[in-house]
Amino acid sequence: MDHRPQAWGRPRDDVYGAYDHSFMNTNSHPNQHTQQPLVTGTSVLAVKYKDGVVIAADNLGSYGSFARFTDVKRLHTFQDTSVVGFSGDISDMQYITRHLHQKSIEESYASSSANKKSRLSAANLHTYLSKMLYRRRSKMDPLWNHMLVVGFDDDEKPFVGSADLLGTTFTAPTLATGIGSMLAQPLLRTYAGTDEEAAERTKEEAIKVIQECMKVLFYRDARSQETYSLAVVSREGVEMKTSEKLENMSWAFADRIKGYGTQTV
Amino acid sequence: MFRNNYDNDAVTFSPQGRIFQIEYSEEAVKQGSVVVGIASKKHVVLCAIKRNAEELSSYQKKLFAIDEHCGIAIAGLTSDARVLSNFMKQQALGHRLTYGRAMPVASLVDEIGTKAQINTQMYGKRPYGVGLLVAGVDEDGTHLFEFKPSGMTEELVGCAIGARSQMARTYLEKNIDAFADASKEELIKHGLQALHETLVQDKELTIDNTAVGVTGFKEGSKNKAEPFKLYEAAEVKQWLDAISESKEGNEGEGMDVDE
């Protein structure tokens, strides 16, 4: 009989056979970090106007090129003062929004009495998110998102900031993620190229240019959808619409496009 | 024979429901030299009397800047205060790095409150032997907090801790209505006046033993903090002169009241 301490309390090998260690490690392959996004959202657009910010993103969650989920809300409000728009991986988006929800609860405990207003501004939130993304990329386990954070900065001026999976940060009067940064950003710059110009634009003008850009993106972006969400962040709060539809589309140009399908001409 | 059996550690209650080690640590605060804090709507002022161990030595610092918007005054064991002030500096800086804003004063005070309370509930630990006045500004306005070794924290308009601080508190209570709308200069003078009340017979406030720290909002700004500024030595002369002048002016009528 085996009297060594490491055998104490164990089934006897001579009665039950050798101990089977294999159940301890069920997966024979090593753990893997995220290598690519799976369910994804496409571009997010945001522009400043004189009293706030307008942000939009469509409601599609694509699985590769498959339009898998058609009712995914990609704009999330934070404490009624900021909005975060997500492109990239939807499950990472859900992880981050759960985390932000927790954060906002903690923050409201920290300033619980009614007349207190110390809150995280959109600029503070943007810094926080960028640190979070950078930390994860440094662990070689990135959160696969590119997001726009909109609201107001500490001087209560309109704020639009971008943060991506590498931890890169950027602010500008107008911003777009993904393919929108190529297709919509040049159009948005004609609306407002500088903060001074953005400070002269009205809410209606801002909404109009966003609608136009969403339309261009739906024409050209193969991972986009007709229904989208649009939020206006002003000093009064957040006005969120989640089932906007593109209007006045014309597909007349479509039958002149050649070279993508099976045509032989 | 009548030895107290309930003061050997900080985790045992006496049958009367007291924890002696915590009470002793608050005694250590009472032996420290006095510090006074007052908050108006626009500024927070900390005033302190510094002690020197002997004639030839320098004076022990009593006021410390924690961050741009926040500073502390200490009474009690300076070495324990070092630990707390280093911790507070780290927290404030960490908050600036992760959020890009100044840490709200209430959260900073909560952090040290929690830290100090843990020491009163774990065997083998002892409470901090130091009390703090934390002065700072944030989006909610100006703040003055008192911190005790028990881990208790509270926000006040004016406060004094340390040796003979009751005299200073009495002065503050008498003048409380003047604080809210007081200017920076007036607030400092009230602080020094309160300090003066605590002095024993032949002691005086001098430029060597007096320190003043001020933070507040920048002129004409609602949310921009004026960096915490420490005034020592020659910089406090102007205010010391001002209060001794007003003293002399009042001496005649005040004499018989004092006797």
Per-residue pLDDT at B256: 46
Contacts A111 to B, Cβ<8 Å? 104, 106, 140
Sequence-distant (6+) residues with CB within 8 A of B131 are B26, B29, B32, B74, B75, B76, B146, B147, B148, B149, B161, B162
The distance of B106 to chain A (nearest Cα, Å) reads 8
Assess if residue A264 is contained within a domain.
no
B222 interfacial to chain A (CB closer than 8 Å) = no
Tell me the C-alpha distance between A111 and A125, whole Å: 16
Name the residue of chain A whose CA is nearest to B224's CA.
Answer: A155
Query: Is A127 close to B139, i.e. CB distance below 8 A?
Result: no
From B98, B106, B110, residue closest to A127, measured CB to CB: B98
pLDDT value at residue B255: 45
Is residue A28 situated within a structural domain?
no
What is the pLDDT at residue A265? 61
* Cβ contacts of A128 on chain B, cutoff 8 Å: 98-99
Within an 8 Å CB–CB cutoff, is residue B234 touching chain A?
A: no
- A124 reaches B (C-beta below 8 A): yes
Is there a contact between B171 and B161 (Cβ–Cβ < 8 Å)? no
Q: Is B107 on the interface with A (CB under 8 A)?
A: yes
Q: Say whether residue A135 is in contact with chain B using an 8 A CB cutoff.
A: no
Element (H, E) at B73: strand B70-76
pLDDT for the residue numbered A224:
96
DSSP state, residue B33 = P
Rounded Cα gap, residues B119 and B9, in angstroms = 11
In order along its 265 residues, chain A shows pLDDT tens digits of: 778 898 888 888 888 888 777 777 666 777 788 889 999 999 999 999 999 999 999 999 999 999 999 999 999 999 999 999 999 999 999 999 999 999 998 888 766 555 556 589 999 999 999 999 999 999 999 999 999 999 999 889 999 999 999 999 999 999 999 999 999 999 999 999 999 999 999 999 999 999 999 999 999 999 999 999 999 999 999 999 999 999 999 988 878 877 777 776 6
Q: How far is A216 from chain B (nearest CA, A)?
A: 36
Cβ of residue B99 closer than 8 Å to a chain A Cβ: yes
Percent of chain B with pLDDT over 70: 95
User: pLDDT for B208-225, tens place per residue?
Assistant: 999 999 999 988 777 788
Which residue among A110, A127, A154 sits closest to B104, beta carbon to beta carbon? A110
Strands of the sheet with A44-49, listed across from one edge = A174-176, A44-49, A52-58, A227-234, A237-245
Q: In the prediction, which pLDDT does B249 show?
A: 66
Residue A110 forms part of a structural domain: yes
Of A115, A123, A131, the CB nearest to B98: A131
pLDDT score of B153 more than 70 = yes
Inter-chain CB proximity B98 and A118 less than 8 Å: no
Question: Using a CB-CB distance cutoff of 8 angstroms, which residues of chain A are in contact with residue B100?
Answer: 123-124, 126-127
- Number of domains within chain A: 1
The reply to whether A32 falls in a domain is: no
Residue A127 contacts B where some CB pair is shorter than 8 Å: yes
Q: For residue A152, what is the domain's CATH number?
A: 3.60.20.10
Give the whole-angstrom CA distance, residue B239 versus residue B195.
12
How deeply is A194 buried, as exposed, middle or buried, from its count of CB atoms within 10 A (0-12, 13-18, 19+)? exposed
**The pLDDT of residue B254:** 44
The parent domain of residue A160 ranges over 39-243
Cβ pair A121:B98 closer than 8 A: no
Residue A221 tokens read as 């972006």
Domain membership flag for residue A249: no
The secondary element (H helix, E strand) that includes residue A23 is none
**B117 and B10 Cβ atoms separated by less than 8 Å:** no
Q: Hey, are the CB atoms on A154 and B101 less than 8 Å from each other?
A: yes
Judge whether A92 and A147 are in contact, CB under 8 Å. no
Q: How far is A114 from chain B (nearest CA, A)?
A: 11
User: Chain B closest CA to A125's CA: distance in Å?
Assistant: 7
Region for B162 from its dihedrals, namely left if φ exceeds 0, alpha if ψ lies in -120 to 50, beta otherwise: left
Nearest residue in chain B measured CA to CA from A156: B223
Q: How does strand A169-171 pair with strand A75-78?
A: unpaired
Mind listing the pLDDT tens digit for each residue in B158-182? 999 999 999 999 999 999 999 999 9
In a domain, A171, yes or no: yes
pLDDT for position A9: 85
Å from B110 to nearest chain A CA?
9
Q: Is A34 a catalytic residue?
A: yes
Q: Which of A34, A169, A227, A242 is catalytic?
A: A34
Summarised one tens digit per residue, pLDDT across range A129-162 is 999 999 999 999 999 999 999 999 988 999 999 9
Residue A19 lies in a domain: no
Inter-chain residue contact A118 with B97, CB threshold 8 Å: no
Residue A197 lies in a domain: yes
Best of A82, A103, A104, A118 to disrupt the B interface (most B CBs within 10 Å) is A118
